[in-house]
Amino acid sequence: MIPITKPWMGEAEAEAARRVILSGWTSQGPEVAAFESEFAAYVGAPYACAVSNCTTALHLALLAAGVGPGDEVITVSHSFIATANSIRYCGGTPVFVDIEPETYNIDPMLIETAITEHTRGILCVHQLGMPCNLEQIVAIASRHNLFVIEDAACAAGSEVLWNGQWERIGKSHADAACFSFHPRKVISTGEGGMITTQHADWDRALRLLRQHAMSVPDTVRHVSSKVVFESYPTIGYNYRMTDIQAAVGREQLKRLPEIVRQRRELATRYGKLLQGIEGLKLPLEPKWARTNWQSYCVELPTGCDQREMMQELLDAGVSTRRGVMCSHRERTYAASAQDSLLMRSQHAQDRCILLPIYPRMRATEQERVTFALRDATRRTASLSQDGISHRCKAPSNDVLRA
């Protein structure tokens, strides 16, 4: 079975975890501090704060931005549900806008029409590692005095062209960027997240809130020559990263340039291998973006049934995933948006699949994926023409309009 992804870990990560375990200090401590410093230097940000995962990162970033009950935050439905949930955690309301059909990222042209007197900011997503149009989004936010937080869960190592220079996602382009180190991401600590920001006051707030709002951290109390009593001036959370995770993350960060290089080579090769499959839409990388290719997303030929295509690939030994979900299709957010305003988002969820891609993926494995996909599309098209199967259906009028 060819997996959808496979973290690249080895003896360096195992030894790092072993070293911390034997040190006697495994919770948030010196390894976390070192990982934060190294990650900030890698992306070029003034501040970086490590947390337990990207969902908690988004929650804390929104709290630092001041989001509370009655506030609206413009974002996309076309994202993992944590994006919308993090707004709800603060008591805010996510306002969904549609995506660009080429990049599957938020359409900047739709943002201003969604702004109301209650709008507090914009939570944009670098979907599947593909940078969204930050330049336009930040300009819109500036005109309307809104914050911009980047959901960069998938985007470690991705780059944008900024003032004529290639810069990494996470630098001070917006107010904050939130990263994930889940095993599906380009680097992993098992679970874990990071928030980068350009604001010293935001960074102080993030560090306070992630540790129960404890006035004096345990790392300070344990090395003090005097007895120190801490206080808890506000409501905080247990959103800390452990030193074991951070030690692994430091080794993963060393691998990141090579991981991104290999993923870009694999994406280029996919582009050549898949060109001949009629009707298959390949991902587009804008001229101002360099993605890390966290995922390789293709849109199936018109009318092909997504689930049955994925099953055929699975039967052939190839793992895939469906297109990115739409939060407004879940019961919790069903009343939050009109389907007619999010047709591109729904189209992408229903018609796209993610193909396997991971560092050290062999050429023969890519060829197997390509052969299986080509064979499945050819067979389903043939069966449909013969009237034997309904796996390929004529597109509805709604889809055609989208």
pLDDT above 50: residue 394: no
Three-state secondary-structure class, residue 190 = coil
Query: Whose CA is closest to 267, among 291, 287, 289?
Result: 291
User: What's the CA gap between 93 and 75, in Å, rounded?
Assistant: 10
pLDDT above 80: residue 130: yes
Amino acid 382: pLDDT = 58
Three-state secondary-structure class, residue 56 = helix
- Domain 256-401 falls in which CATH fold? Aspartate Aminotransferase, domain 1 (3.90.1150)
User: What's the CA gap between 191 and 193, in Å, rounded?
Assistant: 7
Q: Where are the alpha helices (DSSP H) in 134-179?
A: 134-144
* Residue 269 or residue 382, greater confidence: 269
pLDDT above 70: residue 391: no
Amino acid 41: pLDDT = 98
The answer to whether the CB of 87 falls within 8 A of the CB of 62 is yes
User: What's the CA gap between 122 and 103, in Å, rounded?
Assistant: 18
The answer to whether the CB of 249 falls within 8 A of the CB of 10 is no
Amino acid 395: pLDDT = 39
Q: What is the pLDDT of residues 39-66, one digit of tens each?
A: 999 999 999 999 999 999 999 999 999 9
Amino acid 398: pLDDT = 42
Amino acid 147: pLDDT = 98
* Per-position DSSP letters for 217-236, written without gaps between them: -HHHHHH-SS-------S--
pLDDT above 60: residue 401: no
CA atoms within 13 A on the CB side of 104: 32
Lowest mean pLDDT among 176-180, 221-225, 309-313, 338-342: 221-225
Which pair of structure tokens corresponds to residue 70?
């009655």
CB atoms within 10 A of CB 381: 18
The reply to whether 256-401 shares the fold of 11-253 is no
Amino acid 230: pLDDT = 81
- 300, exposed or middle or buried, with CB in 10 Å at 0-12, 13-18, 19+? buried
pLDDT confidence bin for 172, thresholds 50/70/90: confident
Q: What is the pLDDT of residues 9-37, one digit of tens each?
A: 999 999 999 999 999 999 999 999 999 99
Q: In what order do the strands lie in the sheet with 296-299?
A: 296-299, 352-355, 321-322
User: What's the CA gap between 297 and 4, in Å, rounded?
Assistant: 11
Amino acid 402: pLDDT = 35
* Average pLDDT of the chain, as a whole number: 93
Which pair of structure tokens corresponds to residue 341?
């305003």
pLDDT confidence bin for 378, thresholds 50/70/90: confident
Task: State the first-to-last Cα distance of the chain, in angstroms, to the nearest integer.
Answer: 35
* Residue 248 or residue 382, greater confidence: 248
Average pLDDT over residues 161-172: 95
Percentage of the chain modeled with pLDDT above 70:
94
Lowest mean pLDDT among 166-180, 236-250, 382-396: 382-396
DSSP class of 113: G
CA angle 138, 186, 189 (to 5 degrees): 105
Query: Whose CA is closest to 128, among 92, 87, 167, 76?
Result: 76
pLDDT confidence bin for 276, thresholds 50/70/90: confident
CATH 3.40.640.10 fits 11-253, yes or no: yes
User: What's the CA gap between 12 and 248, in Å, rounded?
Assistant: 8
The residue type found at 402 is A
User: What's the CA gap between 222 and 210, in Å, rounded?
Assistant: 19
pLDDT confidence bin for 193, thresholds 50/70/90: very high
Q: What is the CA radius of gyration of the chain?
A: 22
pLDDT confidence bin for 149, thresholds 50/70/90: very high
Average pLDDT over residues 135-162: 98
Domain boundaries, the chain: 11-253, 256-401
pLDDT confidence bin for 396, thresholds 50/70/90: very low
The answer to whether the CB of 374 falls within 8 A of the CB of 299 is no
